Structure 1
Amino acid sequence: MTVWDRPEPPIRPVPLDRERIVAAAIALADEGGLGAVSLRKVAARLNAGPMRLYGYISTKEELFDLMVDEAQAEILPDEQPGDWREALRVLAHRTRRTALRHEWLADLLGGRPTLGPNGLAVTEATLAALDGLADVDTVMRAVETVSAYFTGAIRREIANLRAERATGLSKRDWQRASGPHVTRMLATGRFPALAKAVYDGTDVDAETSFATGLDWVLDAVAAKLKSGDAGSAVD
């Protein structure tokens, strides 16, 4: 039985329910990451005894599932765009913005899907965007491909933000500090492709990079859907 199927215990003198528990856990995670979340700390924030929480949540993993489902409510758009590319683009960008508000979400993206109402609604919206454009296996591979891209891109962006905070160096500060070493290494001539990228490439911000990569992935999906080659999509 999942946490969503299990009934909550009766209300006791200190008001407590899963909604309050999850809100407290998210606040802790927003402040200090997933490492700051424990049933004991959540209980303390709610002025309740730790054992009280076990009537609502059995494990920390269940708590994480509930937190992810709550965050996924922020991903769902108010209206589903009619165009499949725009629908997937909106979902990807909303996922990124939600992860930037709740950085801990990046650590939980890409695992087993949560089975809460918001998680199921996000999955439904994603699959519905491509419904009828190809057979179900092709649709599933397309969704997996787009999801793999934006999950990886979001995790990389969050990792860079965490590195900036940990070192106290912005991206430009880090580039200046590491510049002499990189210049010496490139001067050896052993890394010509890297040298071209460093000296000739255009530096873009994270949002532009995310949007460009997403468009390329959507172009590839569009080409696969147009070809109707479901067998290749599955291979």
Structure 2
Amino acid sequence: MLVWERPEPPDRPVPAPLSRERIIRAAIQLADSDGLPAVSLRKVAAALDVGPMRLYGYIDTKEELLDLMVDAIYGELRPTGEGWRAMLRSLAETTRQAAHRHEWFADLIGGRPQLGPNALAGGEAVVAAMDGVDIDIVMPVVGAVNAYVVGAVRREIAERRAERATGMNEEQWQVASGPYLGRVFATGRFPALSTVIRDAAHLDADETFRIGLEFLLDGIQARIAG
């Protein structure tokens, strides 16, 4: 029986009350503070001031704990909008916002579909907004948007992590890399790349995400209209 269907054990008021909700909340706090390596059943039990064996009545494995954590974050998304385009835009934006609040979330999405109640509820809202779209392309469309978001947020979070690891923000890194790129581009081997880097507008992460998303939605709209 999957964790979503398995009932919790009866509440035990001593030595400390426990529930899946408390366990998930403690695990998310650990992950938010110190990343996924900080999350284990033993560490979560210590944060709750209970013995590790207490948790096994609620969760069998670390994989179940991670599934529950991810579904809790899906509960924060709540995409809304009139029509499929607005709904897909909201899905993309709220997923990105959640990943910025919880960096570890981006590491756990993008694989097999999430089957928790919050993920299913969000999926239902998105698919319902696509009523009237050819049923055979509904899931490929949603999958394309999800793939775009996962790729974008992982790139953004990788930049954050690089900044923390190197002590240089993006602008400082660009300044440090400038002399090398100048020498490379001076060889004339990369004229197109050199022109774009030198002359094109340098967009921030928000603008880059928004423009890329609108390109994708435009393509989806053209495909549906065609």
Query: RMSD of aligned C-alpha atoms?
Result: 0.9
Cα distance, 1:84 vs. partner? 1.4
Q: TM-score, normalised by structure 1?
A: 0.93
Verify: 1:29 aligned to 2:31, yes or no: yes
Structure 1, unpaired ranges of 5+: 228-235
Q: Superposition pairs for residues 1-235 of structure 1, below 5 Å?
A: 1-12=1-12, 13=14, 14-77=16-79, 80-134=80-134, 136-227=135-226
Looking at structure 1, the residues matched to 51 and 18 of structure 2 have their Cα atoms a distance apart, in angstroms, of 11
Looking at structure 2, the residues matched to 96 and 56 of structure 1 have their Cα atoms a distance apart, in angstroms, of 30
The alignment of Structure 1 onto Structure 2 pairs a total of residues equal to: 224
Cα distance, 1:111 vs. partner? 1.3
Q: Secondary structure at the match of 1:172?
A: helix
Looking at structure 2, the residues matched to 205 and 141 of structure 1 have their Cα atoms a distance apart, in angstroms, of 29
Counterpart code for 1:189 = G
Looking at structure 1, the residues matched to 223 and 22 of structure 2 have their Cα atoms a distance apart, in angstroms, of 45
Looking at structure 2, the residues matched to 130 and 96 of structure 1 have their Cα atoms a distance apart, in angstroms, of 21
Segment of structure 1 superposing worse, 139-148 or 91-100: 139-148
Looking at structure 1, the residues matched to 117 and 131 of structure 2 have their Cα atoms a distance apart, in angstroms, of 20
Structure 2, unpaired ranges of 5+: none
Q: Secondary structure at the match of 1:81?
A: coil
Cα distance, 1:83 vs. partner? 2.0
Q: TM-score, normalised by structure 2?
A: 0.97
